[in-house]
Amino acid sequence: MDYGPYLSCAVLSKPGFKFDNNNGNFDCDVTARGFLIKLADDWSAGAVFDSDNLRISAAWQGTPIKFQGVIFDGGHGPSPSLGSMPVFQTPHGPGWAKDGSFKDPRPTASRRCRRRARCRRTGAAIRAST
């Protein structure tokens, strides 16, 4: 099937990845808000753009993407994965620096959750920012 020049989906960056049921993690980088960018007609080369962290999380060449998951093969489980090991990968985190630091400046999930809970208790409005 022709998906066009790019495809938005979660992407696992390791062929033959493993899932650990004990801790609920994959043994590879997962780009949850990924864009697969096709650089070869048969998807045998391309890059993964992480729209959450604004980084190129991985690039591959040689073997096409393994399209799996509900929208591709009807399977409930893993998302698409690279068909071969990445040519390069970047660490999980922001792909940009603020004041010379690559530390993620966004508030942590726990801080947002505590704030939302406090707003629910007091009836205060929840702002969209931070």
Residue 115 lies in a domain: no
Task: Tell me the C-alpha distance between 119 and 34, whole Å.
Answer: 32
Instruction: Read off the pLDDT of each residue in 87-116 and give the average, rounded to a whole number.
Output: 81
Residue 69 lies in a domain: yes
Average pLDDT over the chain reads: 85
Residue 112 pLDDT level (bands cut at 50, 70, 90): low
Residue 46 lies in a domain: yes
Closest among 76, 67, 69 to 15, alpha carbons compared: 67
Residue 52 lies in a domain: yes
Question: Would the pTM of this model clear 0.85, i.e. be above it?
Answer: no
Task: Tell me the C-alpha distance between 45 and 123, whole Å.
Answer: 52
The domain in which residue 18 lies consists of 6-100
Tokens of 88: 């390069």
The string of pLDDT tens digits covering residues 80-101 is 999 999 999 998 888 988 899 9
Residue 71 pLDDT level (bands cut at 50, 70, 90): confident
Residue 33 lies in a domain: yes
Number of structural domains, the chain?
A: 1
Residue 119 lies in a domain: no
